[in-house]
């Protein structure tokens, strides 16, 4: 029998079978983690072979994945964490106030998606907030920046419903990994998309204006109009492992299209002569914020290497 992993919380796993019934699951035998560098061999979205024994799904085989998203485990630098598997797309929720989503966080997410060939989009939530003029300009500038690069960008509000119909159409009949910093409104958005789900939500911490962790596990939910969303905890960072410094620029779209015009094939775009990327930054054709993220990530890769 085949099934789909629909929830993971540490060693606690649930699987859904074709009848839509869900069972707690366990892995057959010993998947010895010391023999590979993943924190856990299973991820939400995995397709598996299983058998049912006394209302427990015994997983006998993890079927080949068509894709996945993997980041460096922040607690174990040499291990990898599989965020989700078999995805059609990924969506990052962004806010410029209460809480603030740094551009480096956004860029880290986009690099991760580019590296694993998962189409990415951004949703700027809380469109109903009355922002200070400076923050409102920041929101508009951020949205325009990523639209120009070529990413789908949405502006939404769960309170007024602004932009939610457009987002529904984007999610329809697709499996979408949804993430963002704690407090950006992820649970509120998913509750709006799936009436009756009633995921827990909490207000921001007043002192820090940061979100509380209301999602402590990763779970897959079916959308009423077709498709699925994978709800994940708010990750603090997205760090891609297992890539070489010379590969990093390939995962910045606006840099990738300029690489053939660099003088050197192995150009790192730091201080090399006749570098098309540096020239584009100087001309304002590549955003300084994106280039600064590139340099920071490049430095991290060099340090690891």
**42-100 confidence digits (pLDDT tens):** 999 999 999 999 999 999 999 999 999 999 888 777 788 899 999 999 999 999 998 99
| Architecture, CATH, for domain 2-64 | Beta Barrel (2.40)
- Confidence at 284, pLDDT banded by 50, 70, 90: very high
3-state SS, the chain, equals: CEEEEEEEECCEEEEECCCCCEEEEEECCCCCHHHCCECCCCCCCCEEEEEEECCEEEEEEECCCCCEEEEECCCCCCCEEEEEECCCEEEEEECECCCECCHHHHHHHHHHHHHCCCCEEEEECCCCCCCCHHHHHHHHHHHHHHHHHCCCEEECCCCCCCCHHHHHHHHCCCEEEEECCCCCCHHHHHHHHCCCCCCCCCCCECCCCECCCCCCCEEEEECCCCCEEEECCCCCCCCCCCCCHHHHHHHCHHHHCCHHHCCCCCCCCCCCCCCHHHHHHHCCCCCHHHHHHHHHHHHHHHHHC
pLDDT digits (tens, 9 = 90+) for 171-211: 999 999 999 998 899 999 999 999 999 887 755 444 444 44
pLDDT digits (tens, 9 = 90+) for 146-170: 999 999 999 999 999 999 999 999 9
Q: 2-64 with 69-231: one CATH topology?
A: no
Percentage with pLDDT > 90 across the chain: 75
Best CATH choice for the domain 245-304 from the list 2.40.50.100, 1.10.40.50, 2.60.40.10, 2.60.40.790: 1.10.40.50
The fold of the 69-231 domain, in CATH, is Rossmann fold (3.40.50)
Backbone angles phi, psi at 204, to 5 degrees: -65, 155
- pLDDT at residue 216, rounded to an integer: 65
- Confidence at 304, pLDDT banded by 50, 70, 90: low
Q: Is the pLDDT score of 35 beyond 60?
A: no
Domain boundaries, the chain: 2-64, 69-231, 245-304
Percentage with pLDDT > 70 across the chain: 92
Mean pLDDT in residue range 103-124: 97
- pLDDT at residue 240, rounded to an integer: 84
Q: What is the pTM of this model?
A: 0.92
Lowest mean pLDDT among 22-36, 152-166, 217-231, 276-290: 22-36
């Amino acid at each position: 029998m085949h099934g789909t992993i629909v929830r993971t919380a540490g060693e606690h796993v649930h699987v859904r079978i074709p009848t839509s019934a869900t069972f707690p699951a366990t892995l057959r035998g010993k998947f010895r983690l010391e023999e590979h560098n993943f924190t856990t061999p299973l991820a939400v979205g995995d397709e598996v072979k299983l058998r049912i024994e006394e209302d427990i799904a015994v997983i006998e085989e993890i079927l080949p994945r068509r894709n996945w998203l993997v980041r460096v485990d922040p607690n174990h630098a040499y291990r990898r964490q599989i965020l989700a598997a078999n995805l059609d797309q990924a969506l990052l929720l962004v806010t410029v106030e209460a809480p603030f989503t740094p551009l480096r966080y956004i860029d880290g997410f986009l690099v991760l998606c580019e590296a694993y060939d998962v189409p990415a989009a951004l949703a700027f939530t809380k469109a109903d907030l009355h922002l200070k003029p400076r923050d409102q300009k920041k929101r508009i500038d951020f949205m325009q920046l990523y639209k120009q690069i070529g990413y789908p960008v949405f502006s939404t509000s769960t309170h007024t419903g602004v932009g939610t119909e457009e987002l529904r159409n984007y999610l329809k009949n697709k499996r979408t990994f949804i993430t963002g910093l704690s407090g950006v409104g992820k649970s509120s958005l998913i509750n709006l998309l799936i009436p009756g789900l009633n995921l827990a939500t909490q207000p921001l911490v007043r002192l820090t204006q940061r979100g509380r962790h209301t999602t402590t596990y990763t779970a897959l939910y079916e959308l009423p109009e077709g498709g699925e969303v994978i709800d994940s905890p708010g990750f603090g960072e997205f760090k891609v492992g297992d890539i070489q410094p010379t590969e990093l620029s390939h995962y910045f779209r606006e840099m990738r299209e300029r690489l053939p015009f660099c003088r050197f094939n192995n150009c790192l775009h730091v201080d090399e002569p006749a570098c098309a990327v540096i020239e584009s930054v100087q001309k304002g054709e590549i955003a300084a914020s994106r280039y600064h993220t590139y340099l920071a990530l490049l430095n991290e890769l060099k340090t690891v290497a």
